[in-house]
Amino acid sequence: MTFLAHRERRGGRAEESRAAKAFTLIELLVVIAVITILAALLLPMVSKSKERGRSTACLSNLRQIGISLQLYVQDHDNKLPIMYDALISTNATPPTNSFATIDQVLSNYLGSARILRCPSDRKDLFIETKSSYSWNYLINGQDADRLSMMGTDYDPHQIPLVFDKEDFHARVGPGRGVNFLYADGHIKNLLAIEGTK
């Protein structure tokens, strides 16, 4: 065997071993397809996890609003504030500017106005109305220990005071889109108005 033939034979074996180690185009496409399917399956779970985090931050905001309301009540003879939600901006002139809103009434009690912004507020309600949260105006000015709505008396743990203006957290699950702060200071992701006193 000549030197050249021996070299060609060794080179052929090297090419064969390299070819055996390499992926074919079809194998590569199958791997990419499997990775794409797995990513598509995981993406909703990652999105749901992110929304749970934002919902938790929103609950923290509501807890701080609750502390602010407790301070307000202590300073005002155990009476809840009288305030209303700001209207969403329109081109029309508002009928009156005399209604106090949550950002105005609690401005001295909130550490920052940013507490009134829900992290999941994608509709910019905070920018338009100065709050992502609604106030239960049915309890305006009432004694914090004796609450009634529409002529029915309730315990403070049964009445929601402040809640998300929209179902910002709908991705968390059905019926869990809105967070609520109750009159006794507890917070929930579900509305639960139980029986009366």
More confident residue, 102 or 187: 102
* Rounded-to-integer distance, Cα 140 and Cα 98, Å: 15
Provide the pLDDT for residue 7. Answer: 53
The tally of domains found in the chain comes to 1
Query: Is residue 4 scored above 90 in pLDDT?
Result: no
The string of pLDDT tens digits covering residues 141-187 is 888 888 888 888 887 788 889 998 888 887 777 777 888 998 888 87
Q: Which domain holds residue 70?
A: 3-188
Does residue 115 fall inside a structural domain? yes
More confident residue, 111 or 197: 111
Cα–Cα distances in Å, from 109 out to 64, 137, 147, 165? 10, 19, 22, 21
The string of pLDDT tens digits covering residues 113-143 is 899 999 888 888 888 888 999 999 998 988 8
Does residue 35 fall inside a structural domain? yes
Provide the pLDDT for residue 197. Answer: 43
Does residue 194 fall inside a structural domain? no
Does residue 56 fall inside a structural domain? yes
Does residue 112 fall inside a structural domain? yes
Provide the pLDDT for residue 3. Answer: 53
